[in-house]
Structure 1
Amino acid sequence: MSLELASIPDLLLAVIGGALRVGTPFLFVSLGECLTEKSGRINLGLEGVLVFGAMAGFGGAYLGGSPWVGVLAACGAGALLALLHGLLCSLPRVSDIATGIALMLLGTGLAFYLGKPLIQPQAPQIPSLQLGAWSDSPAVQQALSVNALFPIGVALAALLAWGFRNTRWGLVVRMAGDSSDAARALGYSVNAVRIAATTAGGAIAGLGGASLSLYYPGSWNEGLSSGQGLIAVALVIFARWHPWRCLGAALLFGGAVAIGPALQSVGVSGGYYLFNAMPYVLTLVILVATCSTSQSLKGAPAELGVSR
């Protein structure tokens, strides 16, 4: 069925609503990775952190009877797994990349094993904020029905952007990422800074897992993430290690994911599975577009491997 002109406003609203829903996990994971990489460490294990956080969040909400118990559980689970990554990477001659891959396998494996009893039950869901209540249009109301975690993500982006520029801890994190020698000369433990930043980044990424299992799609199953944790690494590069740009990149990817369902909602069913590949195609395009030396150096912490 062809797309009619009258359907275009509904399509745009559906894409906007989908970007807000789907982009929320991308936002938290990319902010967590942004904080980690600002300290000079890469955590490729955020896919495992995201899945483990989703499982812990669903389990916490189911057992505790409240979605906010689940959110706290997801945050703690993400922090715990990322802390393990930070401690291992602080050992001599240990590779961030190899440890991150091992962490990804560990996190997903633990989530699948511990989460088997959670596949059938239903847990309390994170509430929606009805930002479209001012409108009489059901399409507007549905599009602006926002995950209650999304404003928290926006606030975190603002806090990180402000903190990196204006606070002592932000300066110390940036110094550890740009020059470990300078940080040591000023008396700071680079390992301690990176462990703290990695742990905090994992806690933030865990919130993305809670958003997956407790809001959209709002259940726990083993195929929940679909590689969003790995995509977040590309998002941080695309955002040039800036929290506000991570917000824009997350919404861009969320909108890409939402195109297929949005077209279905207005009666266009052809090529649905092709549009489901949009996030992965977009990831490849971004990586190719930013792979040149002149582009990859912009905004990158000097201690990261991409700038050595």
Structure 2
Amino acid sequence: MTAEALTTILIAMLGGAIRVSTPFIFVALGETLTEKSGRINLGLEGNLVLGAMVAYAISFHTGSPWLGVLAAGFSGVFLGLMHGSICSLKKVNDIAVGIAMMSFGIGVAFFFGKPYIQPSAPRLESLPLGGWASNPALQQALEINPLFIVGILIAIVMWWALANTRVGLVVRMTGDSEPAARAMGINPIKVRILATAAGGFLAGIGGAFLSLSYPGSWNEGLSSGQGLMAVALVIFARWNPLRCILAALLFGAAGALGPALQSVGISQGYYFFNAAPYILTLFIMVAATGSNSARAAPGELSIAK
């Protein structure tokens, strides 16, 4: 492989990592917040898909993609409130409810989204941050969607808030020890419902990126399981919002590996390289078993018990 081909692959992976990682960032941050409160939400795949459909529909009807992003977030809040409320009932399993909510969200999105498969909606404009580069490929790779920057800012704010604010302390205490939270006069049910709703809001915005930026259309195969992979990503990041950014970029780069190799004419094993994010997810889940990852998990999660 020549140096030019290697450079092309690295630039393609850089651009792909930024694009592909953006929905991962939002879903992972949403799941991190939810799990910090002591609840697992496997239904974020449904939030992601429903958010993508709602964002595309609102953008199509209003002509404003940012209104679509906001609407996608509130669709995630709707599913999050449902999930949190159902899980608050006695003898209800979080995992089972999450799977049911995932199916529900995807089903609603497919049912109401059929009229929007063909029409074209206004998309989110990218910021050309590569104007300083002389390489056209690098310029294209550095056309960054504003939601990528927003996701990084949210991760920084969340990391700071969890460590330095009363709200963050309440969320962490609820997730680490429900009896301790109750002893301090905190209502764990209320905290978890609100945390799950906020996590759903972030996941919905991640879905808006899929339909309004990359790949930039609405169809029924849009998500490809990114909501479920975010659970592994959160474990890999050890429930740290800043590490979620790095983990999302790693997943994004893995997802961009196949197209990057194809761009230089390497097509052998293309489908294998396209499966890299799923293989990475499997390795992370296996590595997390019996490792120190469980020690960093909130005490009320089943992974820590």
Return the TM-score normalized by structure 1: 0.98
The match for 1:65 among 58, 63, 66 is 63
* Counterpart code for 2:227: G
Partner in structure 1 of residue 236 of structure 2: 238
Matched residues, number: 305
* 1:216-269 CA-partner distances (Å, limit 9, x unpaired): 000000000000000000000111000011100100000000011111112222
Return the TM-score normalized by structure 2: 0.99
Give the 3-state SS of the residue equivalent to 1:115 in structure 2: helix
Cα RMSD of the aligned pairs, angstroms, is 0.8
Partner in structure 1 of residue 53 of structure 2: 55
Contact 1:13 1:139 in 2 (8 A): yes
CA distance in 2, matches of 1:120, 1:83: 31
Partner in structure 1 of residue 245 of structure 2: 247
* Counterpart code for 1:160: M
1:32: how far off?
0.2
Is 1:300 aligned to 2:303, yes or no?
A: no
Partner in structure 2 of residue 105 of structure 1: 103
Is 1:289 aligned to 2:287, yes or no?
A: yes
1:5: how far off?
2.7
Contact 1:158 1:243 in 2 (8 A): yes
* 1:136-161 CA-partner distances (Å, limit 9, x unpaired): 22011011111110000000100110
CA distance in 1, matches of 2:29, 2:293: 19
Q: Superposed, which structure 2 residues align to 1:26-45 within 5 Å?
A: 26-45=24-43
Give the 3-state SS of the residue equivalent to 2:295 in structure 1: coil
1:296: how far off?
3.3
CA distance in 1, matches of 2:73, 2:264: 37
Is 1:23 aligned to 2:21, yes or no?
A: yes
CA distance in 1, matches of 2:293, 2:243: 15
* 1:178-222 CA-partner distances (Å, limit 9, x unpaired): 011111111111100000100000001111000000000000000
The match for 1:144 among 142, 155, 174 is 142
1:295: how far off?
2.1
CA distance in 1, matches of 2:221, 2:292: 34
Contact 1:263 1:269 in 2 (8 A): yes
Could you tell me which runs of 5 or more consecutive residues in structure 2 were left unpaired when the two chains were aligned. Answer: none
CA distance in 2, matches of 1:93, 1:20: 41
1:275: how far off?
0.8
Partner in structure 1 of residue 213 of structure 2: 215
Contact 2:295 2:304 in 1 (8 A): no
CA distance in 2, matches of 1:45, 1:174: 21
CA distance in 1, matches of 2:196, 2:112: 24
The match for 1:170 among 168, 171, 181 is 168
CA distance in 2, matches of 1:260, 1:91: 45
- Ranges of 4+ aligned residues in structure 1 off by more than 6 Å: none
Contact 1:296 1:306 in 2 (8 A): no
Q: Superposed, which structure 2 residues align to 1:76-225 within 5 Å?
A: 76-225=74-223
Is 1:270 aligned to 2:268, yes or no?
A: yes
* Identity score, percent: 61
* Counterpart code for 1:45: G
Contact 1:240 1:298 in 2 (8 A): no
CA distance in 2, matches of 1:160, 1:266: 39
CA distance in 2, matches of 1:199, 1:95: 18
